[in-house]
Amino acid sequence: HSVFFIVICLLLSFKDIPARQSDNDIRNTVSGMQKFMGEDLNFYERKKFQEEQNREWSFQQQREWRNARAVQKRAENLYAETRLQFDETARHLQKLESATKKAVCAAVKEFNKNQAMESAERKKQEKKQEQEDNLAEISSLLHGDLLSENPQQAASSFGPHRVVPDRWKGMTQEQLEQIRLVQKQQVQEKLRLQEEEYQRDMDWDRRRIQGARATLLFERQQQRQQRDLRRALDSSNLSLAREQCLQKKCMNEVYTNQPTGDYFTQFNTRSR
């Protein structure tokens, strides 16, 4: 009978459900002594799940960091390209300014050279005219009645500018015509010199006005180029500021779920 009772109990125990299926089983009462403090049947599954979750979080943070790094790299490349373009524009403007200065210096040098040549030629012509006048005067004196000792010459012994009154019949018509011709030549020469001086002054004033106008136009061109460069710099800085603002806003939207201190304090709170 004892053996039969034991067999029956074993059969009944095999058909019955287990006394403990999980930690959350409602049949695990204190008096049943099926669950003790410190036991954790889901420790390995929870640990594996936490490791998988930590791995996924790590991968996600790495992807986000790589994306942010790529965005920052593109922004740095764009900034570097913009700086190179601005440097190239500045070098071009500097070369243009240097070429303009060289052209102005060459024009001034050529103008001074022409003025020096004109002055030298004018002095040469004046010297030649003076020599011709001197030769003409000498020739006139050599062939005149005074040096030829013409007996009809009513020259006085008191000087060539004086005559003997009783013998002087007055100036001849040829002498009067010669005097008038010389006076006319002197007047024409004086008018010619005045006209040359006037034309020289007018030419100098015109060149000075043209130089001042060219300098003013060059300064205005430089001001326009500097103003355009400042506008380009301001536009580029505004674009970069907008991109940085959008990048900062995107980063704030990406990293909105930051782990707090409570998240890390929930681990290793038990002895097992």
Please write the tens of the pLDDT for every residue from 108-120. Answer: 998 889 988 988 9
> Do the beta carbons of residue 71 and residue 247 sit within 8 Å?
yes
Output the pLDDT for position 190.
92
Residue 151 confidence class, pLDDT cut points 50, 70, 90 = very low
Output the pLDDT for position 90.
87
The pair of structure tokens assigned to 252 is 């704030």
Output the pLDDT for position 175.
74
Q: At residue 165, does pLDDT exceed 90? A: no
Output the pLDDT for position 245.
87
Average pLDDT in the chain: 79
Output the pLDDT for position 33.
59
Q: At residue 184, does pLDDT exceed 90? A: yes
- In 10 A of CB 60, how many CB atoms? 10
Output the pLDDT for position 189.
92
Q: What is the CA radius of gyration of the chain?
A: 59
Helices (H), the chain: 2-15, 43-142, 173-254, 261-265
Q: At residue 187, does pLDDT exceed 90? A: yes
The one-letter amino acid code at 198 reads Y
- Averaged over 28-55, what is the pLDDT? 71
Q: At residue 148, does pLDDT exceed 60? A: no
Output the pLDDT for position 51.
87
pLDDT digits (tens, 9 = 90+) for 238-267: 888 888 888 877 877 766 666 667 767 777
In terms of pLDDT, which residue wins out, 78 or 268? 78
Q: At residue 32, does pLDDT exceed 80? A: no
Least Cα distance to 79 among 208, 268, 236, 199 occurs for 236
